[in-house]
């Protein structure tokens, strides 16, 4: 007697089906994990962009000249209370520290800048500011040296110009992304 047709799966059919299902599950898991990681990266980028924009708006809202003049720098290297005090408190190397310092130009005759670095959990906000003159041809950088020691907001000397331009940059800790915004602060009489 001959055996009749058998129904159901054989061992080989079950193994092949399990392998195909395993590949589908692995691929789906990888795609979901990648999508979640990208969503987290986008959230961090959004936080950095928001922080840079908020800092730029805060700097735009500052008055140009402090009143009264500050006595010196606070622990973070700034003379709080005005655009001059926060964007360019001094050009004196004696008052520099890693988070807030004067950066002389590498090229003779070119204007130096003041740099401030604020560390955040996601990376840094860097603010680089220069004195500028507003001319018909555009913005022209002005060297901030007054007297032998360099200019300082608390010195009583007039600032080198009536305008500052600052670039606010938010950069992720791994360096994979950054955003920059420019701010022009002009002394209004």
What average pLDDT does the segment 169-181 reach? 94
| Between residues 187 and 144, the one the model is more confident about | 187
pLDDT tops 70 at residue 118:
yes
The secondary element (H helix, E strand) that includes residue 179 is strand 178-186
Is the pLDDT at 18 greater than 80? The verdict is yes
Tokens standing for 151?
């200019």
Q: Which pLDDT does position 61 carry in this prediction?
A: 92
Q: Would residue 176 count as lying in a domain?
A: yes
pLDDT score at 148: 66
Q: Please report whether residue 128 resides in a domain.
A: yes
Burial class, 84, CB count within 10 angstroms (exposed 0-12 / middle 13-18 / buried 19+): buried
Domain that holds residue 101: 47-186
Phi and psi at 169, nearest 5°, equal -125, 125
- Please determine, for residue 5, whether its predicted confidence score (pLDDT) is greater than 70: no
The pTM of the full predicted model, rounded to 2 decimals, is 0.79
pLDDT at 184: 95
163 is a domain residue: yes
How far is the C-alpha of 54 from the C-alpha of 60, rounded, in Å?
10
Q: What rounded mean pLDDT belongs to the chain?
A: 88
Please give the structure tokens belonging to residue 46: 């959004």
- Lowest mean pLDDT, pick from 8-12, 92-96, 109-113, 175-179: 8-12
- The reply to whether 28 falls in a domain is no
In a domain, 8, yes or no: no
Domain assignment present for 110: yes
Distance CA 18, CA 124 (A): 49
Count: domains in the chain: 1
In a domain, 36, yes or no: no
Average pLDDT over residues 149-167: 87
Question: Could you tell me what percent of the chain has a pLDDT over 70?
Answer: 92
Is there a domain that residue 22 lies in?
Answer: no
């Amino acid at each position: 007697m001959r055996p009749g047709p058998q129904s159901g799966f054989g061992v080989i059919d079950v193994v092949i089906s399990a392998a195909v299902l395993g590949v589908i599950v692995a691929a789906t898991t990888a795609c979901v994990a990648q999508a979640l990681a990208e969503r987290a990266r986008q959230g961090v980028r959004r936080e950095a962009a928001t922080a840079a924009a908020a800092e730029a708006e805060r700097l735009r809202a500052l008055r140009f000249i402090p009143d009264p003049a500050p006595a010196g720098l606070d622990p973070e290297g700034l003379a709080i209370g005005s655009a001059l005090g926060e964007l360019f408190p001094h050009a004196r190397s004696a008052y520099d520290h890693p988070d807030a310092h004067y950066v002389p130009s590498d090229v003779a005759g070119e204007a130096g800048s003041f740099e401030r670095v604020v560390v955040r959990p996601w990376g840094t906000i860097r603010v680089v500011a220069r004195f500028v003159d507003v001319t018909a041809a555009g913005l022209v950088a002005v060297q901030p040296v007054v007297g032998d020691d360099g200019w300082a907001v608390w010195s009583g000397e007039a600032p080198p110009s009536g305008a500052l331009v600052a670039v606010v940059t938010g950069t992720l800790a791994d360096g994979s992304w950054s955003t920059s915004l420019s701010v022009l602060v002009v002394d209004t009489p």
